[in-house]
Structure 1
Amino acid sequence: MPRLTNIEEVLFPVEEHPVFVSVRKESVERRLSVPDKKAIVNTKTNRVLGIVSRGYRLVTNHQALDWAYQCCQTVFPETKPGEWEVKSSDAPGTGGHCFIDIVHNSTALDFEFVAAENRPDAFGPFIRVTNSYNGLRALAFDIGFFRKVCKNGMILPESIIRFKFTHSQKDIGKTISFEVSQERLSKIKTSFNDYFNALRDCKINRQEFDPLFYGVLKIREPKKMKPQSPIANDWEALSKGIGVLCSRYSEELGENAYAVFNAITEFASHPPQNRCVHRERHSFQRLAGNWLSKFSQECRKPDFKLSIYLENLITNNGNGNKVSSKAAIRRDSN
């Protein structure tokens, strides 16, 4: 099913409705109410999005977006409401949950981690709001950073500032408040500088790009593929595309971990429609961000060896990824 990627597509109207069950006995059908449940319904399509408890606090995507703008100004008080804009939105075709990214549209908040005489990579802040209508995801507001060049998207590291609220009357009242320490935000900017410096200093041969890429994003070669089958063709197309992506960044940024990271974030922000891709954009971006914070510390250790790191990464991801990593190395050496 196609994903909803236009902001207007996720701002559909929703309502709460009581839940009934149909009980048939001896050709007589009765409708019985379910007093402790209610249904969340897309009134535009009449589709039931979720069956939730009576204590579930409904927050519409439109309301969540309004709160996201409030979050922007609380975290970055020096900005004005008109300086923030929706950059992207993403939701499954069912509309059961969604992610909306808001970015600052000027250079006032750029986090430039590289001197202009070297490579002027400009990073800016964004806030991602997560909302759901089925009770499976909490209402959340994540502060992240994105590279304002090429196709690289959002970075969601482990050290992120996050506001999270369960969909309950107790946790979410008529409104919610956002409080953040500016000192903490300043430390995160500094840590990002350290992250990227560590990646640039970590040398990685081109033949090691692909297996590292597969390992970070947990992409595994399907088992028992029949030659020329649809999934085999998809795997071949996916592998080729990843190889091209890694080669492009190795040429642009050099043979280092920073180039691998940029290849990873571009793929994570624009995952292709492919039978071998089983995660959505948000999940891929979290994997990329988590790897950024962990690997930048790991690669600075005096005894760090990439060969051992890759072996452990492949082992932890399962044998399927081990096969794809070997194949990636063979492709690059041809």
Structure 2
Amino acid sequence: MLSLPELGQLFESYRREHAFKGTVAELYAPAQYLMDLGGKRIRPLSTLVAHQLYHDEVDLALPAALAMEVFHNFSLMHDDIMDESPLRRDHPTVHMQYDLNAAILSGDWMLIHSYELLAGYDASKALPMIKLLNKTGAEVCEGQQRDINFESTMNVSEAAYIQMIQDKTAVLLGASLQMGGYTAGAPASDLDALYLTGINAGISFQLMDDYLDAFSPTSGKIKGGDVLQNKKTILFIHCLQEANETDRNQLLNWYQIQTPSDEKISGVLHLFEKYQVPSFVKNMVQSYGQKSMKALDSISVAQSRKTNLETLLTELLNRNK
């Protein structure tokens, strides 16, 4: 059984061997540019690790792993366009490096190519995998729209926020794990457990991301980026719910200000701490992490085969940056 670093190396070799190219180079170059920027490769690793729960040989899962990474990067490319982001992974975003039309069209092709990769499996595997990507893609779009909707309202419930991050972030991790189950021929009960493992880990990951944006212990990290952008994260939502009327109005006033300032960051973070928001969010992170591990425990393979997935989840759930 390959280790996580070995699986990562295997995927990178496969990705490079299947570099995007064709007669119209201008279509493929932007997509290849984004894929070459790197990243943690959490989703393809999840697919390979899930497949390896059942089989040591993982070559069969490589096209599905690449499909999930291509789909993920397609969503990033279009997110960057909508957010007008200048940078991705410390490099110019695709629409800045090339142009807007190139980014839209190349992103469209990436979506198509992710399906093309899954269609290469035999029909008994390809059909449920394509249906899963259909469902996941629709949910990611719904999550993005929910996030956009939140920009124009202060009235966001905790439940609505959890649904948004589940759709926008967690479903892709759940689907990546389930894809590995499909390629391996896992039983239906395990397919469900793999999906729940990813869903809960993804929610926990995003909640921790929200927490670290405001309270990262890592020196040198700029705190309060979400506050400066007036993002309605779980910290803002819970603080608004718990605050007295005076502090609630102060928090709302801070979130009306568009100009970045240290005073705004310190003022908002003070309110978060006053209402014990950090401990509340960390408890949520832990709760969803425990749900993820509980789902993993229910998968019907020997504990020794779960080592890589446990390690991957631990790295996701116990980070400090």
TM-score norm. by structure 2 comes to: 0.27
The TM-score, its normalising length taken from structure 1, stands at 0.26
- Ranked by relative contact order (alpha carbons within 8 Å, sequence separation 6 or more), the top structure is 2
* Structure whose residues are more often strand by fraction: 1
More helix by share: 2
Bigger Rg, which one:
1
